[in-house]
Amino acid sequence: MGILELALIGVGLAMDAFAVSICKGLSMRKMNYGHAGIIALFFGAFQAMMPFIGFMVAKTFARYVEHFDHWVAFVLLALIGGKMIYDVFTEGEDVVEVHEEEKLNYTELVLLAIATSIDALAVGVSFAFLKVEIFSAITIIGVLTFFISFGGVVIGNVFGNRYEKGAQLAGGIILIGLGLKILLEHLGIL
């Protein structure tokens, strides 16, 4: 898997964190770049850590599933992407209370970072089956998520939540497309 594919996966995975970052930006009456950096660091670190955990768990069992690993990668990415798209059309409008952000709630940040990176755990499993070089992959995913999340806080602060659903929809479509590409490559169609 090349850098472009890893970057696209990173962007797709970062869309949940981007959406939450927008909401965090909405809660700031005045832009606080220090808080934006901390929020982005939490999301980037967890987005990098979860695929590594998934990769290590799957590596233990990889020899048992080598013959159908491309199907596992396709199903995982398609399910994750499909759920993201489903959520766009079924969730009610999020009500975000805008108020001045004085202090960051680190417990809340950890919980949000875990919640937005669960998908990355499953992607890490697929990385093990595809024999992806994990350290390059998690570096790309973590760095992209950091910058996308930082941008999300700024956008949330400046433009409101206009882009939240679109970002989640784009992330879902990217993940499904990459899952399909992986499947078609392993079947010899691409």
Kindly state the average pLDDT of the residues 37-65.
88
Mean pLDDT, residues 58-80:
72
Q: Is 42 exposed, middle or buried (0-12, 13-18, 19+ CB in 10 A)?
A: buried
Residue 181 reports pLDDT greater than 50: yes
Q: Which residues contact 53 (CB under 8 A, 6 or more apart)?
A: 121, 124
Residue 163 — very low, low, confident or very high, per pLDDT cuts 50/70/90?
A: low
Rg (CA), the chain: 17
Residue 102 CB contacts under 8 Å (≥ 6 apart), including other chains: none
- Is the entire prediction scored with pTM above 0.85? no
Return the residue matching tokens 């202090």. Answer: 103
Domain ranges of the chain: 3-186
